[in-house]
Amino acid sequence: MSHDHDDPRYPVKKTDEEWRKELSPMQYEVARHAATERPFSGAYWDHWDDGQYKCVGCGEVLFESTTKFDAGCGWPSYSEAASAEVVERIRDASHGMERVEVRCKKCGSHLGHVFPDGPEPTGERFCINSAAIDFKPK
């Protein structure tokens, strides 16, 4: 799945060069090229402090620690986004699977996918790459 870097839908716009400069190589591959970090390899899959998780691309608050749960999958998992307004959902049929990609609505950075097998009351599981988010303690 490739990104259109000049996509006018996103208010935060940066050139490919700027993204490369501001992000680490891993963050860049995940956020700008929809790579997936290896399970159990990221900073936040087993991280349970109180606070907020922000977009590495633009600083938007995307997830709250209160919605984080242990899905046992090796990636940070949340039952909902900080608000429905901060994430964009896009149908993703890559890799022979039918999935829903999740992006930051402000800068278009790829975050991960959302699956319909999460805990109540939302029933959703946002499966997010640690490399796409930055934790800010409360």
Active site residues per annotation: 127
Pick from 19, 44, 53, 57 the residue near Zn ion by CB under 5 A: 57
Per the listing, tokens 């963050």 go with: 27
Answer for the pair 57, 31: CB distance below 8 angstroms, yes or no: yes
Which positions from 95 to 114 touch Zn ion by CB under 5 A, shown as an x/- string? ---------x-xx-x-----
CB of 123 to Zn ion, least distance (A): 25
Show the site string, 1-40: x = touches Zn ion by CB under 5 A, - = not.
Answer: ----------------------------------------
Q: How many CA atoms lie within 13 A of 67 on its CB side?
A: 22
**Omega prior to 121 cis, within 30 of 0:** yes
90 or 93: CB nearest Zn ion? 90
Alpha-carbon torsion angle 114, 116, 120, 122, nearest 10: 60
Burial 88-105 (b: 16+ CB within 10 A, else e): eeeebeeeeeebebbbbb
Q: Which of 106, 131, 129, 133 is nearest to 14 (CA)?
A: 106
| Interface with Zn ion, residue 54, by CB under 5 A | no
Q: Report the nearest approach of Zn ion to the CB of residue 102 (Å).
A: 11
Least distance from C-beta 119 to Zn ion, angstroms? Answer: 26
Q: Considering the complex, what minimum distance in angstroms separates the CB of residue 84 from Zn ion?
A: 15
Residues that bind Zn ion (CB under 5 A): 55, 57-58, 60, 104, 106-107, 109
